[in-house]
Structure formats: structure tokens, C-alpha cells
Chain A
Amino acid sequence: MTFFSIENLSISFGGLRALEDIQFDLQQGEIYSIIGPNGAGKTTLFNCINGIYRPDRGSIRFEHRELVGLKPDRIAKLGIARTFQNIELFNNMNCMENIMLGRHIFIKTGILRGGLMWGRKSFAGREESAHRRKVEEIIDLLDLQAARNQLVGGLPYGTQKLVELGRALALEPKLLLLDEPCAGMNSEEKQDMIFWIKDIQDELGITILLIEHDMQMVMDISDRILVINFGKTITEGTPEQVQKHPEVLKAYLGEEEDIDHVA
């Protein structure tokens, strides 16, 4: 059984082919990275998996279920969570409430039982406390204690990225999509983030699909890598294989032949 697979995925916007016949599959528990220059279609691919865009052709299967055509909230309920390239947090909620929203799909309190909440012994009160405990675990895991009661809009950029990761983890996903989790971070924050991503994979057993521009990091933590450009697959394979691919070398290390010529 394949855990997650994408077949012949294509989407175009007003004649522009953003993705063309993308095809890959994920093994449970691996870290799979997607790299490629800006505008290659990486985030578009995430948006297709999430159900924000509807692809023109192709299929996305997750645990034998077809995701194409499902709404984003249905896909979230199946166990796919994500973070965003440009942070998309709920700026007027504090850090704890943001992560608490990640618990949304597990909470059963509806409008009546929520509105009529009567102390901590009531159904809503008990449920809130139980999920609050889960949130505290995530806050501990990511060292967010100092930020827990602050509005996220005012937090430093790196911390906001972490809160977003925490919110995604609160969904208890089976598959986690990380869209440039280290963008704009300094090297220390980056080290921490790499550590946490590793942790999430090892300890929580969550499969991770990663978009990242930092080659060093991608080569270090990925099990397999997909390289795309202009919406098309260039190559796929382990970090070693990908590093040897001529087009990848050309894109990321400059054209060796040219350098030879100049020399």
C-alpha cells in the first residue's frame, strides 16, 4: 500500500502551465523534499494537495482516498496539516489559542454546548481542559512557554514560524507539509528548526513533505528529493543521486564548463 501518491498532476492558470505531469509517492515516515527555483510551482503543488486549488488533471491519493475535489477542511480532517511560506497565523489570537485552533477537528463542543458552558465540570469545560492539556504539550515541545499568552502578531518572526508549526502539529497529522519553514531565519534558529523537524519525524512518526531553499539543510535531512522547474519534474532521488544530476548542478552550483572556459 502506498501511503501517499501523486499521479500526472497538472494545473494551469490562464494558459500558463504551473504544474505538468507531476508524479511521486511518499513512504510513511520519510522526509521528502521538493526543491526548485522561485516560481517553479512548489507552493502551487502544496495548494493542490491542500485542496485550495483544484488541479486540471491527475490524482492525489492519501491512504487509498482520492483528495482531488475535496474541500481543504475535509483534507485536514484526513490528517494532512501544513505551514505557509508567508506566515498565515491568526494575528489577534494569542499563541495558545492559535495552537488550540489546530485542535478544532477533535473538539465536539458545538454552538449550544459551547454557549452554555458552565464551569469546568460541564461538557464544554471538560473538553476545553482536555485539549488545553494537549496544547500545553506542544508548547513544551517547541519551547513556546514565554509566548503562550501573547498575541502572535507581535511575536518575532522566528517564533511565529514555530507557532505555525505548533498549530499544524496540534492537528495530529499523518502528513505534514512544510512550506519554507526556515525562510528568513538566522543560522541559530535554522539549527533549532532542523532539530525539531527531525524530532517530529523520529518521535511522532509524521511523514514530512518539505519545501526549502537552503540546500545544505535539504541534503542533510531529506530521505528523498524531487527537483522541479517550470512545473516539470527534473529529477527525483536520494540526496546523493540528485546532487549529481547535471541540471541540478547547473542550477545550484553554476555551470562548471563556463567556469572552466573562463579559467
Chain B
Amino acid sequence: MDMKREYFEDVRIFTSGAVLFWFVVLIIGLVAIPRVLPNYYVYMANYMAINVIVAIGLNLLVGFTGQISLGHAGFFAIGAYGTVVLMSLAGFPFLLALAVAALIAAIFGFLIGFPALRLEGPYLTIATLGFGLTITLVIGKIELFGGRNGLHTPPLTVFGWHLESDKDFYYLLIPITVLLAWFARNLIRTKVGRAFVAIRDADVAAETMGVNLAYYKTLSFAVSAFYTGVAGGLYAFVLRFIEPELFSLVMSITFLAYIVVGGLGSIMGSITGACLISWLDLQLRNILSIPYLGEWLKSLSQNYFSITGVSNIQYIVLGLIIILIMIFEPLGLYGIWIRTKKYWMTWPF
């Protein structure tokens, strides 16, 4: 039985020496990646990091507060367009533009939180879904935002440091990601996070214990939208070009897949889920170049399917993985991790 009684144990930055050790290993690994691996992997790491930010933000809303959202591509778009437009038209410096754009996303999140006070389940799904589609459509109609033609990102300078390559951007992006992950972890350990979980588990009881339901639900939407907005602003500079079609419903669905595959209500789960799915997403686009598997797929395709090749095949694999994880481990990768840990703790008994 765990009899730990120190009142401050749980508020320490690192809850144990082992955590500190692995954190240092992680930081060294993150610093080393661009120096060791070729550029493509750095691009991939950037892509993953952005999805990690989204996944953490979405998990705060869906996993911790228990609200569903199929409209996060909308917040993502607001962040991306907000940042680019503020920089190129208003001349804001990058970090300021990013922060302002994310705040705008948060305000939209706050507003979406209001219908959420009365809706749940499929009804809330529709409301958020409608929001996501609306944002994409409206942005596509605004001339200032480049309409359907999209926008190119302006050159990126942070405090006099010109970021040109993926590598440079990596060193800007990773600290932001780590900072946001750490912020979220603290948040769920303190008052606000407890209120979120309380609302998810028993909203009426939470209310009678003094939790202001309206405030915390809208706050959850706002925080989640803020994270997604930050990620959107950064994403624009990974792609260097944005257009309305990017921010589709498929994107919102993929965001949900990150956290469900990773594990609802877990920060670690958000990180692993986002990394796994975005890695798969990038890998599956050139599935035919994978040795053996690619050859086999090609012959399969020619014999039984179309001769035109394997368009959209990534959907099959993605769908299959989602289904298998939901069926065999509803807690996602985080659940697998917990089980493995339990197994090794008591091994060999």
C-alpha cells in the first residue's frame, strides 16, 4: 500500500528521480535529432510536434472535460490564418502574431462553449462540426486571406534570428511544444484540471461542490482552442503555404483519432497517439516504396484492384489501426503502457 504522506510530493516538478532521468534523456534526444538524422526526419519531427500540441489541447477538452468536438480544424485554421495575416498585413513579429492568433482562436472556443452548455452527445457533435465547416468556408471567401488560392507565409524572424531551414524551425518549435505539454500537465494537477475531470465524471455533483459549470466548460473550450490555434500558427510555417482545403473535416477527425488512439484523459497518451498517427500518415503516403510490402501491394493492386495505383490507401491502414486499438485496448496506447508497467512491476510473479 502506498502510504506517501508528504503534502508536497505531488506538486514537485519531477515526481521521482526516474522521471527526472528520463526527462533529461528525452531532452538530449530532442536536441540531437537534427544533428544526427537527415532533413526529412526533421520535417517529420516538426509535423509530429505540431500534432502533439493539437492532441494535448483536444484531450483537455474531450478526454478531461468530456466534451466532444469535431470542429478543431476550425481553430487550427484560425491560428494558421491569424498568424500569417497578422504578420504579412499588420507587420506583427512572429511570436506576437502567434499569441494573438491563438487568443483569437481561444475567443472563438469560448463562444462555441456556450451552446456546449446545453448540448451533449450527437447534438454537440453537430454544433462543433458546423463550426469547423463554417470557418473553412468563410476563410475561403475572404479575398484578404487569399480566398481559395491560399497564402504563402512571410519570411520568419524571431528576435533577429532568421529561421530558414526545417532544422532552424525545429529549435523554435520543440521548446514551445515542451512548454505547452508541461503547462497542460500542471493544469490537470491543480484546481482547474480537477474541475474539468469533475465535470466529466459527475457534473451535477461538481456544481454542488462549488464548480461553476458554465465558466469551466467554456474555459475548457477556450484553452483547447488556444492550444490548437498555436499549433495552427506553427503549422503554417512548416508547410510554408496554407489554403482553406487543408482544414477539412478529415483533419478534425484525424485530431480525434490522435487522442483516442493515444488514450483519452492522458497527456502522455496525447503525445504518443499524435506521434504514432502522424508518423503513419506520412509513411503511408509513400507506402509503395517500402520494400516487400510495396511490391506485394503493387501486384495485389494490379491483379485484383485498379491498375491506376493505390490512391487513398492510407485511409485503409489508418482506419484499421483505429478500429483494432478501439476493440482491443479502449484506453489506447496509454492503456497498453499502464498494463505493461503493471506486468513488469510484478514480474516474474
B126 touches A (CB below 8 Å): no
Query: Is A73 a contact of B213 with CB atoms below 8 Å?
Result: yes
How many whole Å from A146's CB to the nearest CB in chain B?
Answer: 7
Query: Is A71 a contact of B8 with CB atoms below 8 Å?
Result: no
How many whole Å from A115's CB to the nearest CB in chain B?
Answer: 4
**Of the candidates B2, B7, B8, B201, which one forms a contact with A90 in the assembled complex, judged by CB atoms under 8 Å apart?**
B201
Question: What residue in chain B is nearest A110 (Cβ atoms)?
Answer: B192
Within 8 Å CB of B195, what residues of A?
Answer: 101, 104
Contact with B along A43-70 (1 / 0, CB 8 A): 0000000101000000000000000000
Alpha-carbon distance between A149 and B10 when the two chains are bound, in angstroms: 12
Within 8 Å CB of A130, what residues of B?
Answer: 7
**Chain A, range 205-230, C-beta contacts under 8 Å to B:** none
B120 touches A (CB below 8 Å): no
Alpha-carbon distance between A146 and B190 when the two chains are bound, in angstroms: 23
Known contacts: A77-B210, A90-B205. The answer to whether A120 contacts B223 by CB under 8 A is no
How many whole Å from A227's CB to the nearest CB in chain B?
Answer: 25
Within 8 Å CB of A73, what residues of B?
Answer: 207-208, 210-213
B86 touches A (CB below 8 Å): no
Chain B, interface size category, equals: 35 or more
B194 touches A (CB below 8 Å): yes
Q: Which of B18-26, B67-75, B179-187, B316-324 binds A?
A: B179-187
B32 touches A (CB below 8 Å): no
Query: Is B211 a contact of A114 with CB atoms below 8 Å?
Result: no
A9 touches B (CB below 8 Å): no
How many whole Å from A139's CB to the nearest CB in chain B?
Answer: 10
B37 touches A (CB below 8 Å): no
**Of the candidates B4, B10, B207, which one forms a contact with A128 in the assembled complex, judged by CB atoms under 8 Å apart?**
B10
Query: Is A111 a contact of B192 with CB atoms below 8 Å?
Result: yes
B13 touches A (CB below 8 Å): yes
B158 touches A (CB below 8 Å): no
Within 8 Å CB of A77, what residues of B?
Answer: 210
B142 touches A (CB below 8 Å): no
Alpha-carbon distance between A81 and B190 when the two chains are bound, in angstroms: 22
Known contacts: A120-B11, A125-B8. The answer to whether A90 contacts B198 by CB under 8 A is yes
Main secondary structure of the interface of A (DSSP, over half): helix
**Chain B, range 170-203, C-beta contacts under 8 Å to A:** 183-184, 186-187, 189-195, 197-198, 200-202
Most central of B1, B5, B205, B223 by chain A CB within 10 Å: B205
B90 touches A (CB below 8 Å): no
Within 8 Å CB of A120, what residues of B?
Answer: 8, 11-12
Query: Is B194 a contact of A76 with CB atoms below 8 Å?
Result: no
- For chain A, the count of residues having a C-beta within 8 Å of the partner chain is 48
Query: Is A117 a contact of B189 with CB atoms below 8 Å?
Result: yes
Q: Which of A11-19, A92-100, A181-189 binds B?
A: A92-100
Most central of B195, B197, B223 by chain A CB within 10 Å: B197
Query: Is B209 a contact of A167 with CB atoms below 8 Å?
Result: yes
Query: Is B3 a contact of A145 with CB atoms below 8 Å?
Result: yes
Question: What residue in chain A is nearest B183 (Cβ atoms)?
Answer: A115
Query: Is A104 a contact of B189 with CB atoms below 8 Å?
Result: no
Known contacts: A71-B207, A73-B211, A81-B208. The answer to whether A104 contacts B11 by CB under 8 A is no
How many whole Å from B72's CB to the nearest CB in chain A?
Answer: 19
Query: Is A81 a contact of B209 with CB atoms below 8 Å?
Result: yes
Question: What residue in chain A is nearest B195 (Cβ atoms)?
Answer: A104
Alpha-carbon distance between A91 and B3 when the two chains are bound, in angstroms: 21
Query: Is A89 a contact of B202 with CB atoms below 8 Å?
Result: yes
Question: What residue in chain A is nearest B64 (Cβ atoms)?
Answer: A92
How many whole Å from B265's CB to the nearest CB in chain A?
Answer: 7
B219 touches A (CB below 8 Å): yes
Alpha-carbon distance between A41 and B290 when the two chains are bound, in angstroms: 69
How many whole Å from B182's CB to the nearest CB in chain A?
Answer: 8
Query: Is B202 a contact of A124 with CB atoms below 8 Å?
Result: no
Known contacts: A90-B201, A114-B193, A124-B186. The answer to whether A104 contacts B211 by CB under 8 A is yes
Alpha-carbon distance between A111 and B110 when the two chains are bound, in angstroms: 15
Question: What residue in chain B is nearest A107 (Cβ atoms)?
Answer: B191
Within 8 Å CB of B284, what residues of A?
Answer: none
Question: Can you list 9 A-B contacts with CB-CB less than 8 angstroms, sorted by A residue number?
Answer: A93-B194, A93-B197, A104-B210, A104-B211, A114-B191, A129-B7, A136-B7, A146-B1, A149-B4
Using a CB–CB cutoff of 8 Å, the interface residues on chain B facing chain A are 1-5, 7-8, 10-13, 183-184, 186-187, 189-195, 197-198, 200-202, 204-213, 219, 223, 265
Extra A-B contacts (7), CB below 8 Å, given A128-B11, A130-B7, A136-B7? A52-B208, A93-B198, A101-B206, A107-B191, A129-B8, A132-B8, A136-B5
Which 3 A-B pairs give the minimum distances between C-beta atoms? A114-B190, A76-B210, A88-B205
